[in-house]
């Protein structure tokens, strides 16, 4: 292909990203007989599970649920070894899926997309890669992930550090050995709490720099019992249906029906204890007012705080680890030995609220109190420019050259998280305004991919070649997304859901909090009504 001129014949579809979303999208497009090209920035497929290969990386949704459901033969035949799958095992699964459905031949690796421009006259998207190639297609589908734009902290002197540095979300493919090293970890979210106990076992010294303590529950991960696996697989169809209709995309989670104050304190604590012992994050969903009433939330938060205190020997460290946000308003973590790591003699916690970082030096980190913490390596577990970061990193231009970044300057605006007005034939998989990150994301990925594929088939049957979200329908959806979020405690926390971790980013609650099941019903109703709220055209 020419490096400067567009490919001659336009494709039906371009899919950006070869993670769980891009791979299933490709499979569905092939099934429709549509020609698709997947473009992937990484040197291999896997998306999140390609990039996040840091020590300890593991899914916090059970493996039998965090997997594709679209093919019963696949889900029956694949064998997971652990209750919560590790990153290498999930990547192996993804590779298996790609081989099984012969997906690789339509995927171009090491190809970062830099721009996607809509040509209204031709009704085509022109997608340009980092190598200067331009491909054209009728439809462009962004499978770029919600947590794929890794973010470094804004700390003075970062570039001066002469030791090794790593971001959990951009981990090198070659294994890293921290034996004998003095290692610093910045960040104590889901990635930090996973990497810390593993690096603690290797490193000579580990210093954790914590800004905001979070809630973490023991995962109680264990080898998958073959009997349990067999029993689960027997009722897979029912379980998947339950997950699709649930709030969080997970089967078997309690549907709360009563207030935390409907039971007496002893009974309440006994209920929390059961959930604490279950090795799941269900504790935050036991009562129906936990995410809407601060006092109710406190009952669960206090329970978990007491559990954290009991695990950490040093009272000062335990006090610094006490979370203060309402539980559940930031993602609750599942860990394997996180708090116990602080009981090791080689691990120290620096509470940045009490002693902030002054700046990074060539040899370590200087704290505001004058101490210089000497370090050989720094691990940034500092998260992502979530939900909009990967999209805004591409120069996306719609009708009359409008930039998606500008349209979304005050917060993302979508219809159902699937499309944005002014950007015809451009779809987002798990885009902002859909449940995505508040759920078992594979369930939401499959739902969006199926919705998009069905929509393309519907259009083809009727000779439609253009679909676009209307502004009125989009405004109504954005208002609804904001309204349901405002009725919860979610906006209270400075979370990445709110864009609060990125200086200058609009403070808007980005995912849809109305639940996976109810959301699916709305999407299905829109499709059944002939894609109500979307404008279609046949030329």
Summarize as ranges the residues that interact with ligand NAP (CB under 6 A).
58-60, 147, 153-155, 168, 186-192, 194, 209, 211-212, 331, 352, 381-384, 437, 496, 501
Separation in Å, CA 22 to CA 203, 255, 349 = 37, 31, 39
Quick one: 189 exposed, middle or buried, by C-beta within 10 A (0-12, 13-18, 19+)? buried
In terms of CB distance, is 106 or 216 closer to ligand NAP? 216
In terms of CB distance, is 136 or 280 closer to ligand NAP? 280
Shortest reach from residue 17's CB to ligand NAP, in Å: 16
Shortest reach from residue 194's CB to ligand NAP, in Å: 6
Shortest reach from residue 310's CB to ligand NAP, in Å: 22
In terms of CB distance, is 123 or 355 closer to ligand NAP? 355
In terms of CB distance, is 103 or 493 closer to ligand NAP? 493
In terms of CB distance, is 188 or 430 closer to ligand NAP? 188
The full 3-state SS of 355-419, as one line of letters, equals CCEEEEECCEEEECCCCEEECCEEEECCCECCCCHHHHCCEEECHHHCEHHHHCCCCCCCECCCE
In terms of CB distance, is 155 or 459 closer to ligand NAP? 155
Could you give the CA distance from residue 491 to residue 277 in angstroms, rounded to a whole number? 29
In terms of CB distance, is 90 or 135 closer to ligand NAP? 90
Provide the pairing of β-strand 134-142 with 124-129: antiparallel
Which residues are CB-neighbours of 313 under 8 A, at least 6 positions away?
Answer: 342, 343
What backbone torsions phi and psi does residue 463 show, to the nearest 5 degrees?
75, 20
Shortest reach from residue 495's CB to ligand NAP, in Å: 8
In terms of CB distance, is 208 or 473 closer to ligand NAP? 208
Task: Identify whether the C-beta of residue 429 lies closer than 8 Å to the C-beta of residue 539.
Answer: no
Task: Identify whether the C-beta of residue 526 lies closer than 8 Å to the C-beta of residue 533.
Answer: yes
Separation in Å, CA 138 to CA 123, 126, 168, 259 = 7, 9, 36, 51
Shortest reach from residue 365's CB to ligand NAP, in Å: 10
38-66 b/e (C-beta count within 10 Å ≥ 16 → b)? bbbbbebbbbbbbbbbbbbbbbbbbbbbb
Could you give the CA distance from residue 469 to residue 424 in angstroms, rounded to a whole number? 7
Could you give the CA distance from residue 66 to residue 441 in angstroms, rounded to a whole number? 8
In terms of CB distance, is 469 or 508 closer to ligand NAP? 508
Closest to 137 (Cα-Cα) out of 113, 112, 117: 117
Could you give the CA distance from residue 122 to residue 399 in angstroms, rounded to a whole number? 12
Shortest reach from residue 165's CB to ligand NAP, in Å: 14
Shortest reach from residue 170's CB to ligand NAP, in Å: 11
Shortest reach from residue 323's CB to ligand NAP, in Å: 10
Shortest reach from residue 121's CB to ligand NAP, in Å: 41
Could you give the CA distance from residue 451 to residue 448 in angstroms, rounded to a whole number? 5
* Phi-psi group of 467: left, alpha or beta (phi > 0 → left; psi -120 to 50 → alpha; rest → beta): beta
Task: Identify whether the C-beta of residue 424 lies closer than 8 Å to the C-beta of residue 398.
Answer: yes
In terms of CB distance, is 169 or 433 closer to ligand NAP? 169
Task: Identify whether the C-beta of residue 499 lies closer than 8 Å to the C-beta of residue 389.
Answer: no
Shortest reach from residue 92's CB to ligand NAP, in Å: 17
In terms of CB distance, is 62 or 289 closer to ligand NAP? 62
Shortest reach from residue 125's CB to ligand NAP, in Å: 29
């Amino acid at each position: 292909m020419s490096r400067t001129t567009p490919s001659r014949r336009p494709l039906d579809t371009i899919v950006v990203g070869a993670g769980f979303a891009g791979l299933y999208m490709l499979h569905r497009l092939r099934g429709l007989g549509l020609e698709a090209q997947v473009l992937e920035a990484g040197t291999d497929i896997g998306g999140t599970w390609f990039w996040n290969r840091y020590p300890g990386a593991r899914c916090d949704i059970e493996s039998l649920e965090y997997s594709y459901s679209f093919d019963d033969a696949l889900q029956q035949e694949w064998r997971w070894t652990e209750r919560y799958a590790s990153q290498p095992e999930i990547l192996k699964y993804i590779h298996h899926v790609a081989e099984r459905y012969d997906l690789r031949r339509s995927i171009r690796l090491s190809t970062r997309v830099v721009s996607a421009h809509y040509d209204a006259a031709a009704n085509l998207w022109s997608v340009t890669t980092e190598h200067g190639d331009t491909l054209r297609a009728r439809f462009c589908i962004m499978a770029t992930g919600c947590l794929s734009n890794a973010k470094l902290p804004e700390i003075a002197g970062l570039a001066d550090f002469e030791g090794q540095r790593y971001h959990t979300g951009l981990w090198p493919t070659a294994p890293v050995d921290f034996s004998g090293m003095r290692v610093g970890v910045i960040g104590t979210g889901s990635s930090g709490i996973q990497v810390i106990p593993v690096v603690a076992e290797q490193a000579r010294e580990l210093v954790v720099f914590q800004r905001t303590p979070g809630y973490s529950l023991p995962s109680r991960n264990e080898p998958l019992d073959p009997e349990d696996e067999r029993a689960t697989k027997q009722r897979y169809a029912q379980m998947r249906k339950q997950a699709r209709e649930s709030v969080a995309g997970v089967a078997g989670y309690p549907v709360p029906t009563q207030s935390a104050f409907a039971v007496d304190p002893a009974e309440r604590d006994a209920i929390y204890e059961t959930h604490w012992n279950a090795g799941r994050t269900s504790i935050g969903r036991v009562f129906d007012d936990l995410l809407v009433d601060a006092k109710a939330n406190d009952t669960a938060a206090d329970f978990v705080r007491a559990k954290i205190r009991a695990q950490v020997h040093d009272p000062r460290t335990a006090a610094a680890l006490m979370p203060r946000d309402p539980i559940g308003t930031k993602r609750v973590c599942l860990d394997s030995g996180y708090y116990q790591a602080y009981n090791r003699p080689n691990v120290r916690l620096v509470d940045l609220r009490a002693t902030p970082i002054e700046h990074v030096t060539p040899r370590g980190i200087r704290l505001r109190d004058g101490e210089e913490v000497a370090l050989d390596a720094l691990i940034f577990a500092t998260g992502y420019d979530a939900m909009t970061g990967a999209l805004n990193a591409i120069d996306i231009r719609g009708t009359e050259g409008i930039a998606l970044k500008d349209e979304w300057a005050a917060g993302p605006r979508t219809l159902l998280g699937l499309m944005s007005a002014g950007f015809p034939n451009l779809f987002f998989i798990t885009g902002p305004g859909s449940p995505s990150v508040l759920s078992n994301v594979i369930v939401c990925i499959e739902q969006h991919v199926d919705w998009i594929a069905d929509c393309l088939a519907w259009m083809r049957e009727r000779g439609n070649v253009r679909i676009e979200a209307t502004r009125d329908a989009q405004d109504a959806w954005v208002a609804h997304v904001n309204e349901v979020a405002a009725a919860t405690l979610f906006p209270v926390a400075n979370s990445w859901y709110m864009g609060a971790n990125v200086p200058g980013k609009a403070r808007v609650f980005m995912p849809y909090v109305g639940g996976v099941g109810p959301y699916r019903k709305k999407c299905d109703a829109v499709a059944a009504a002939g894609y109500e709220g979307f404008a279609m055209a046949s030329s």
